Chains A and B, each alone.
Chain A
Amino acid sequence: MTIDAYLAELERALPRMGRSRVLREAREHMRDAAAQHREDGASEFEAETAATRDFGPVDDVALRLCAELAVRQTRITSALALGVVAVAALVVAGVLSFDAETNSSAPTPVLIATRTIEAGTPGMILVGREMYQPTTLPKSEVLEGAIADPSFLRGRTTAVELLRGQQLTAADFHP
């Protein structure tokens, strides 16, 4: 397979978002590899065939790239969602500070779900798939029993469905 043919297949297999950088790096990589093979005496065709073979089966490479690109996309989306939550929290904190409740706006660590989490999901899955994100909220916004330490999740299972943006609390988990 030529480098161009390989890249065309890879392009088809990848999501649009973040794809151009990946394709550019892959092209440079395979050109370097082909140049090395030519230096070792391979013909142009042999050199490109070896370079694409060494890069790995398109399906295999694309699958892993897709997984990583998807995490990035989720991150961007959840960062936006958390941004909205943070702004709302700041507004609330601002309003509360007018009440001279100085303590209630103290930043307090919490864990926030970054996606919908089904009831019955083991805590280790939450950890492994990064289904939550640590952040801080004004103390007055923190729910009773809110979890700040991810090690709490170990050996526990969610008792209810959790929605994106929701704080994780002890009551949401089976002991």
Chain B
Amino acid sequence: MNDRLRGHVDVLLLAALEAGPAHGYGLAELVRERSAGAFDLPEGTIYPSLYRLERKRFVASRWKTVEGRRRRVYRLTAGGTQELERQRSEWRDFTRAMEAVVT
């Protein structure tokens, strides 16, 4: 399952950020919970994805103090919202076609 996930981490993170700003650990938890534990990524691998999304300006981040701890908090940009919509519709087309053929 995790091998198949590799190419999709970016879109999972964009979707998780749609619920609101979050730090890396929070995003890892959100993805695990939403997938009912099926997507159990090595948590460290979400950071290269976050940095890539930030480089492409789909997310923005800054240090924030939460309960006395410094945390890097990520949020979706307007461009990121658009990208999520684009990837979402691509994904729907893909799954629809797969289901039609495979099931």
Contact = CB atoms under 8 A, between A and B. Distances in A.
B42 A25 contact: no
Contact of A29 (B24, B41, B52, B55): B24
Nearest to B9: A64
B42 A71 contact: no
Interface in A74-102: 75
Contact of B47 (A26, A54, A57): A26
Interface string A93-133: 00000000000000000000000000000000000000000
Contacts of B48: 61, 64-65, 67-68
A55 interface: yes
Given A28-B70, A29-B25, A33-B25, A68 B42 contact: no
A68 B44 contact: no
A21 B48 CA distance: 12
Interface size class of A (residues with CB under 8 A): 20 to 34
Nearest to A65: B48
A105 to B, nearest CB: 29
Contact of B70 (A22, A24, A57): A24
Given A28-B25, A29-B24, A56 B55 contact: no
Contacts, number: 62
A72 interface: yes
B72 A64 contact: no
A60 interface: yes
B72 A56 contact: no
A19 to B, nearest CB: 12
Interface of B: 23-25, 28, 41-45, 47-48, 51-52, 55, 69-72
14 contacts: A26-B44, A26-B47, A28-B23, A28-B69, A28-B71, A29-B25, A29-B28, A29-B43, A29-B44, A57-B42, A64-B48, A68-B48, A71-B52, A72-B51
Given A28-B69, A56-B41, A68-B55, 5 more contacts: A26-B47, A29-B44, A33-B43, A64-B45, A64-B48
